[in-house]
Each structure stands twice: as structure tokens, then as C-alpha cells.
Structure 1
Amino acid sequence: MLNTGAVLLLLIGVTEGVKTFCDATQPHITTQCFGSLGGTVEILLPTMTSQDDIYKLKINNIVVLSKSSETTNFRYSFNISTGIFTIKDINWSDSGTYSMEVHNAAGREVENTKCFLTIQAPVSSPLLSRECLSRGQQRVSCSAGGDGLHYSWSLDGLPLNDPRLLSGPSSASEVTLEPGRSGLLSCSVRDNVSEATANITLSVCDGLVPIIAASLSTMALLLIVALGVYCAKKHKTSKDTTEAEDVTYADVSVLQRQGQRREQGEGEVEYAAVRVAPGPRRTLETNVDECVYAQPRRTRP
């Protein structure tokens, strides 16, 4: 049977090493204890009932301390009068099952207790980050190092578990506050060996300004693109029209023969050549009424 109700933590500053305490005096059960990596753990074991009692303290069934032997370890110590077993400079290899056996002078066992020691890394200082969302909500993230972390939040000293204040569980490492919330937000992070807290001051996020600014920027960009396309098409149409109409007509004239009298009747008419400038071909419609004829000259035989 594993007893977890007898665990008591005494937290010292992380910079000095975390000290934990565990009561393992209940007989015939295995008590769950926790130690902080690099810290110190104190385990309360049964005290001696007689000066003649002999104890053996084992780790994973290996004797590490005994009254009847010279077994010593600079990291382990046991105070017979108080019953406190101390482990200093805890490392990962210290995890395991610890047992205390006490026998009287006649060799009869009078005490037998056990505890299981789990080593965890202490919580590092939390880091908070804040982000304003488009609708005026605020997302706050809390990150920290450690093992088996648990999170809790408070706003201006009150637990942040009211659904009017946030979206999402308050035990998560990230919470979203509803629009219009401000004040001192605290994030507490803990595991079985230590706890740390960080604070951040929140101001109200305005969700409309980013949306309006983005909309105006988009509209301005679309207007510029549309104007550029319009100008390009207009320039192309003007160029095509100019090329199509770039036709030069030569004047049609009547050449009169010198020394001959102009009389009505049949005569000879001469036309100058017509030059057409390069460009797309175009069908020219000529109205008969608009044609210009030279006056014929009659030539006498």
C-alpha cells in the first residue's frame, strides 16, 4: 500500500537548494516521498525505543547505514534521537525504495517502515508572454522548467476560474482572457518539490484598430492595382487607334497640257500616286458624290 497523504514539503529558495520533508513513520506501508534534484530531503523514521536497539537503513535492499556496522556516507545521515534520515545533494540515482528495520537486543524486529523516494527537477522561474487577439481578447502563455508541472492563475489576487474572465481551463499553461480585462495577472507553477510565481500587468486590448488598418491597407492596394490596369489598357487602345488611322493621302490633281485650250468634253485625266503609311489594313469607303474629277480638255487634231 502506498500512502501519499503523509507528504509534507518545506520549500527553501531554489538558489540554496530545495529542501523537502516526508513523514514515513507509519509501519507496514510504503509512503510516497519526493526529493528535489540538487536539494535535500529529510525523511522522518521511527525513533529508537531503547539504547540497545539495532537499526538498519536500506536503499533497494542494500544497507547504507547501520548502528552495528561502520557503513558511512557523507551524503547520508541519521539522527537517532529525532529519527530524521537526511540525504544531501540529491541526484537521480537516489530514487528508489528506502526501508528502516529496528531490532531489539534479543534480535526481535520491533519496527519496519518503508518509503519510495521520487526525484524531480525544481521549478524554474516562469516566463510570461502576452498577445492581443483580433477581437480584443488576450492570450497569455506561462512557461517554466520542471517535472510534472501544475499551473494556476489569478487576476488581481482572485483565482482565475470564473468563466466570465477567461476561455479555457485555468490549469493550463496558456489562457485566453475575454475583452476588456486588465490588472495584475499571476501564474503559479508547481510540482511535488517546488513552486514559483511570475506576474504581468495587463492593459485592455483594442481589437478594432488592427482590423480597420488592415482593411484600409487592402483597399488601397486594390485601388492602386485597378488604376494601373486601367491606365495600361487606355494606353494600348490609344496606340492601336493611332496606328489604324495613320494613312496619308496624296492630293489628286489634274495635269493640264500646256498650250491647249480647256473645253468641255472628253479629255485626259492624270492622278498622282497614293501613299499609305505602314499599319493595320483598313477598308476605305468612298462616296461617289465626294469624288473629285478633273475638267476634261479637248484636243484638236
Structure 2
Amino acid sequence: MMLIFGLMLLLQTAACLDQFCKFNQSVPCYGALRHKLNVLMVREARKYDDMKIQKRINYNKTTDPVCRVKNGRMRNCDLYSNRTEVAVINGTLIINRVIRADSGNYTLSLYHCSNCSETSTDLQVNVEAPIDSVEVSISCSSSGAMRVFCSSEGDQILYSWTLNGGPLMDGNSSIDLDEGTDGNISCSVKNHVSHRQKTVNVKQCPESLPAADVEYVEIQPQKKRKERKEKEEEVQYGEVTFTLNLSSTYTRSQEECIYSQVHR
């Protein structure tokens, strides 16, 4: 016997989905799908005569897509061609609407003509879909134990649970609760670019009916149908008997008249 509880309380935490990275960071850069990504290339862009961003696909400097930046503007940019939502402002690469194809390994090359030097640095960019709405449901078993389920849409999802503010087991999308658990349980869902939470109120599971009672309820209508069928058969037999009895209500003269008409 499974019972689903209604949701009583909803709390959602929505973080700002604009992401900020820089080319010399040691950890990967995470961008939120369909949101804004800011990547700092260099703080003092005017010191450099030329800059180049190249996405490493085949690890070939002559064929991999490149975007050259000169005097703070993108030039000869086949890396972000036909994408008006991409720009370079004050040494920062700005992608106003991140797409899946923006994931990958990038190399930034800086040219300084005063000493004819070239420096480069790399950056790993990972695009993740942010957490969508969070759904929580609770089911009761016949023994009174509860299981709570949490579901959501997004990439690289991590789950965590709390009961009345206290932490529970992390890492799973469902959790078992002891019989008699009462209070508010929260499911927190997060990835590298977003975080959402939903809280529901849980109460003790109601006691279920004994198995014998359930079986009796299921069998009883069949028994009634059988009795009704037998009664119908008895009624049909009674009708035949009743019809035969009707003939006895005729007078003797009527019987003789009918008998004589038949034998003629």
C-alpha cells in the first residue's frame, strides 16, 4: 500500500547565474547554459599590441578556430563568427548567452612588441545546464516506513538532505526515514553554476488495513454477484412455475374449449 503526501512548503534558492573566470586560474571555468560568462583575459589590455584566443580542438595552431583581439576589438574571429552576443570589453571576453559548443580548452596568446615577447596561458571551460525546478515526493509503505524522493533537471547534480535543520545522508536522490519521523525535510540540489532547494512537511504514516480485510473486500463483491445470479435463476424458474399455475385459473369449460379446438 503506497500513499503519496502533498507538498506543504516550498523554498527555492536561486543564485546569480552570471559566471566570472580568468585565463590564469588553476581550476576549470564553469559557464551556465543560456546565461552570461565573463572571462578576464588581461587586466591592462593596452600594454599588449595583439591578443589571440584559440580553441584547441585538433591541437593544430593553423586549423583550430581563432579570435584575434587588437586595440580592444575582435578581428578575424572565426571562433565566435556570427555570434553578436560575444564581445571583448576592457580585456574581458563576454559571452552574453553561453551555448554547449563553448565548452573546451582555450589558449590565450599575448604579444608585446616592445620586447618582441609572447606569453600564453590556458583555460578549461565547462558548460553546465543550471538546476531546474525541484520536485519532492514522499511515499509510505504498509509497515509505516517512509521514503522521500527528490528530482530535478540539470547537469552534474549533487543532492543533500536536512531534517528540521539537521543534516542527513548526502549524495542520493532518495532517502529512507524511520517510522514516526515528523517535521520539515529539505532537499538541496546544486551543481557548479546553480543551487535550488525545496522543503516539504512530513508526518507519521497512517496505519494500513490488515491484509485479510483487503482480501475480503476484494472477494465480497464476487460473492454478491454469485448470490444475485442464483436469485435470478430462481426467479426464472418461478416464472415458469407461475405460468403453469395460470392455466389452473381457467374454468373447466374454458379448458375443454381449448382442448377441443386443438384436436380439431
Query: What TM-score range do you get, normalising by the shorter chain?
Result: 0.5 to 0.7
1:158 aligns with 2:156: no
1:134 aligns with 2:137: no
1:217 aligns with 2:214: yes
Report SS of the residue matched to 1:25.
coil
> Using a 3 Å threshold, how does the CA distance of structure 1 residues 200 and 19 change in structure 2: closer, same or farther?
same
Runs of 4+ in 1 over 4 A off after TM superposition: 219-229
Q: TM-score, normalised by structure 2?
A: 0.65
What do residues 85-124 of structure 1 show as CA deviations (whole Å, max 9, x unaligned)?
Answer: 2211111121222221112123211x31111111111110
User: In structure 2, what residue type is equivalent to 1:77?
Assistant: A
Report SS of the residue matched to 1:210.
coil
Q: Which has the higher contact order (CA 8 A, sep 6+)?
A: 2
Match of 1:98 in 2: 106
Determine which structure has the larger helix proportion and give its number.
2
Say whether the 8 Å CA contact 1:45–1:113 is kept in structure 2: no
1:44 aligns with 2:40: yes
Q: Equivalents in 1 of 2:32, 2:221: separation in Å?
A: 64
Q: Which has the larger radius of gyration?
A: 1
1:197 positional shift: 0.9
Q: Equivalents in 2 of 1:70, 1:203: separation in Å?
A: 60
What do residues 149-179 of structure 1 show as CA deviations (whole Å, max 9, x unaligned)?
Answer: 1111111111113xxxxxxxx3111111111
> Using a 3 Å threshold, how does the CA distance of structure 1 residues 159 and 99 change in structure 2: closer, same or farther?
same
Unaligned ranges ≥5, structure 2:
1-13, 57-63, 78-82, 231-264
* Aligned sequence identity (%): 26
* Mapping of residues 11-30 of structure 1, within 5 Å: 11-12=15-16, 18-26=17-25
What do residues 23-75 of structure 1 show as CA deviations (whole Å, max 9, x unaligned)?
Answer: 4325xx6x411111101112233323763543222233432241167516632
Note the aligned Cα RMSD (angstroms). 3.0
Unaligned ranges ≥5, structure 1:
1-9, 13-17, 162-169, 233-301
> Using a 3 Å threshold, how does the CA distance of structure 1 residues 149 and 53 change in structure 2: closer, same or farther?
same
Aligned length: 199
Report SS of the residue matched to 2:47.
coil
Say whether the 8 Å CA contact 2:50–2:68 is kept in structure 1: no
Q: Equivalents in 2 of 1:220, 1:41: separation in Å?
A: 62
Q: TM-score, normalised by structure 1?
A: 0.58
Q: Equivalents in 2 of 1:172, 1:52: separation in Å?
A: 50
